[in-house]
Amino acid sequence: MESFVVRYRNLIVLLTLLLVQIIGLAVQVRRTDSGRRTLDSADSSGVRLIRLWANAVVSPVERLVENSKTGVFGFWKNYIDLRHVRQQNQDLQDTVDRLRLEQAALLEDARQGQRLQAMLDFQQKYLYKTVAAQIIGSSGSDQSRVFYLDKGKTDGLARDMAVITADGIVGKVREVFPHSAQVLVINDQTSGAGVILETTRTRGILRGNAEGQPQIVGILADQRIKPGERVLTAGGDQIFPRGLPVGLVESVLPDPDRDGFINVIVKPAAHLDRLDEVLAITDTEPRFAPTQQKDIAASEELKSADAAALAEQRKASAIMAERLPGLTDPNAPPKPAEAKPGGNGANPATPTPAVVPKIIPPQHPDRFTPGHSGEPGQEAPAGQAPDGQPTPKAPSAKSPPAPGAKPRQSVPGATQPKPKSPAQPPSPRQEPQRPQPQGNH
């Protein structure tokens, strides 16, 4: 060992000095993260050269150890230590299935709640009394379209009661049992309902066809019937109230059995293939909400007040008519008594003479008044016409005929007028002439 040191003493000293010098340079010199040299001592991102060298020497070894550790741990955990993974996977799968079922149940409950809320709102606003029921079964046949309800006779249901939803009519109650009922749907071939088209006001009978579609039969061909027109209940079948929605006109087809008639295919307003809850109309007497009852009572009070006021007006008009002078002549002869059936009165075939109203003479006659002289206040003298001309006198029976005049011959069958005696009183039926009043202007 001494011989080696003595022999290579100069070389060892030189290498030692070089190593010390390199270490000193490495401590003094700074480099950036990218390895470039820098002389700025204030550069915070710079590191000393010796640290870079140490990192370059230690990092590969440390990286190798860390990767080996991570690889071994991952291999152990993912491939070797899998004793409880299958059981955990099965438990998680069961949990996922249970959560899915719960989610579907909650979704169905939410949808049912929405349907029931809409039905409750419709039931409260509807005019007639209804009973809510749930569908518990169907016929199971394509030829007969019926379903069963969970309400029966004990709940107030009876035969031929209308079954509806908030969207439109569904059918009618066909059979009633103590706790259930059978409903015949409107798309069955044996069903029937009176309907009317909203726009054209055409009436017909709604029933189902062989394909399960509601159709209106017994309608004459009409070009005004178009697809999309609303169909309502007519109310003439005494089952469905008037004005309920039935559906929309889907198509118009000619009747294959009768010429000149058509079949109107109707798209039902209610979803007949997916019904869950329905309403059965148990009473057709209108029922009103408390606010509506108050409005009706107020209307009745106003109506009675108006009727009383109208009666008072009629009574006042009758009293006024009695006080005012009329055109009936008080001196006119009384009307003959009418013959009663089976009595001894006058002949019912004899016509009753019409009463002619008497014209009241004027109080201030003038020259324009008929039957008066030209000067106001003076009457026309006897034997003179109102215009001042002498009135021609009738020839007397004792005076001789005029020269050249032919003697008057009596006509057979003609009645000769008899001269009245001056002492003969006037007939009770003849009205005495009243003196004309002398008016002063």
Is the pLDDT at 322 greater than 60? The verdict is yes
Query: What is residue 417's predicted lDDT score, i.e. its pLDDT?
Result: 47
DSSP letter at 379 equals B
CA dihedral (50, 56, 62, 65) positive or negative? negative
Q: Is residue 413 pLDDT above 70, yes or no?
A: no
User: Given pLDDT bands bounded at 50, 70 and 90, which one contains residue 173?
Assistant: very high
DSSP per position, 177-216: -SS-EEEEETTSTT--EEEEETTT--EEEEEE-TTS-EEE
What pLDDT is attached to residue 356?
57
CATH of 126-283, one of 2.60.120.10, 2.40.10.340, 3.40.50.300, 3.60.9.10: 2.40.10.340
C-alpha–C-alpha distance, residues 337 and 348, integer Å: 10
Q: What is the pLDDT of residue 60?
A: 86
Q: How far apart are CA 295 and CA 387, in angstroms?
A: 75
pLDDT value, residue 23: 75
Q: What is the pLDDT of residue 294?
A: 77
Judged against a pLDDT cut of 70, whether residue 328 lies above it is answered with no
pLDDT value of residue 28: 64
Q: Which residues contact 157 (CB under 8 A, 6 or more apart)?
A: 131, 133, 149, 151, 173, 176, 181, 280, 282
Q: What angle do CA 180, 182, 185 make, to 5 degrees?
A: 145
Tokens 């059979």 belong to which residue? Answer: 175
Residue recorded with tokens 């009135």: 391
Q: Find out whether 395 and 405 touch, Cβ atoms under 8 Å.
A: no
With cut-offs at 50, 70 and 90, classify the pLDDT of residue 30.
Answer: low
pLDDT at 400: 47
What pLDDT score does 149 carry? 92
Report the largest interatomic distance among the alpha carbons of the chain, rounded to a whole angstrom.
220
Local confidence band at 92 (pLDDT 50, 70, 90 cut-offs): very high
Q: Where are the domains of the chain?
A: 2-74, 126-283
What does the mean pLDDT of the chain come to? 75
Q: How many percent of the chain have pLDDT more than 90?
A: 17
Across 80-84, 254-258, 353-357, 432-436, the highest mean pLDDT is recorded for: 254-258
Task: State the average pLDDT over residues 298-319.
Answer: 82
- pTM of the predicted model, to two decimals? 0.47
| pLDDT (mean) for 382-389 | 47
Residues of the chain by 3-state class (helix, strand, coil), percent to 5: 30, 20, 50
Q: Which residue has the higher pLDDT, 411 or 90?
A: 90
Percentage of residues of the chain with pLDDT beyond 70: 67
Highest mean pLDDT among 53-62, 115-124, 186-195, 279-288: 186-195
Alpha-carbon span 202 to 236, nearest angstrom: 13
Q: How confident is the model at residue 231 (pLDDT cuts 50, 70, 90)?
A: very high
Give the total residue count for the chain. Answer: 441
Question: Is residue 104 scored above 70 in pLDDT?
Answer: yes
Angle between helices 49-75 and 9-28 (to 10 degrees): 80
Rounded mean pLDDT, 314-333:
70
Q: Which residue has the higher pLDDT, 84 or 395?
A: 84
303 or 196, greater pLDDT: 196
pLDDT of residue 333: 66
Q: How many C-beta atoms lie closer than 10 Å to residue 233's C-beta?
A: 23
Contact 206, 266 (CB under 8 A): yes
Q: Give the pLDDT of residue 102.
A: 94
